[in-house]
Structure 1
Amino acid sequence: MSAEDLENFETEMELKLYREYKDIAAQFNYVVETERRFYLTNDVDLVPRNTDGEVYFELTMRDAWVWDMYRPARFVKTVRVVTFKDVNIEELDKPDLAMPDKMSGEGGFRA
């Protein structure tokens, strides 16, 4: 496999992952970002810990989706992360009513 073939493969995998993310993001309440991974989840618990003056974070998520193009299965039942680095947790905006943006060819709406 040439370097160009590898680059094309990785680009295609990243695009496929992005499309999957767009399709499922609305099902989740939180985006969680650690130094190593990006997650979507509905249940997240962050506990700061202090041991011998060192502060670290213990993060637990349940029923999460993991942004990782090399994982065969991105949905995981439970994730536990222990890190000394920053953790970013954002609540996703959930509009009460999503308006369709275009008419589909079949006479219905497409969101």
Structure 2
Amino acid sequence: MSAEDLENYEADQELQLYREYRDVVGLFSYVVETDRRFYLANSVDLKAHEAGTDVYFELTLKDAWVWDTFRSARFVKHVHVLTFKDVNIEELAKSDLEPPSSLQR
């Protein structure tokens, strides 16, 4: 496989993932971004924990979708994440669920 073939494959995988995201985003209430992953979820619980001088975050998601090109099953019933980085959680308004018209099929 040439480098160009690999780049084309990766670009195709990203496009397929974006299309899946566009199709499922309306099923979820929250967008969650961690240092390693991007999630859609219907239930989010975030707890901050102190360990000496460090702080870490415990994140529990229910009924989630994971943005991960290499994951075959992106729908997950329960996700538990521990991270030392900040977590960004946004509640989706229904108007946020429509992709820009230039990106629609």
TM-score by length of 2: 0.88
Please tell me whether Structure 1 or Structure 2 has the larger radius of gyration of its CA atoms. Answer: 1
Greater helix proportion: 2
Q: How do 1:64-83 and structure 2 match up within 5 A?
A: 64-83=64-83
The alignment covers a number of residue pairs equal to 97
Match of 1:109 in 2: none
Query: Match for residue 106 of structure 1?
Result: none
Greater RCO (Cα-Cα under 8 Å, separation 6 or more): 2
In structure 2, what is the Cα distance between the partners aligned to 1:20 and 1:59?
Answer: 24
Partners of 1:32 and 1:46 in 2: how far apart? 11
Please report the RMSD computed on the Cα atoms of aligned residues, expressed in angstroms: 1.4
Partner of 2:24: 24
Stretches of 4+ aligned residues off by more than 4 angstroms: none
Deviations 1:19-53 (A, max 9, x none): 00000101100000000000000001000101212
Q: Sequence identity of aligned pairs in percent?
A: 65
Please, which runs of 5 or more residues in structure 2 have no aligned partner?
none
Structure 1 unaligned segments of length 5 or more: list them: 102-111
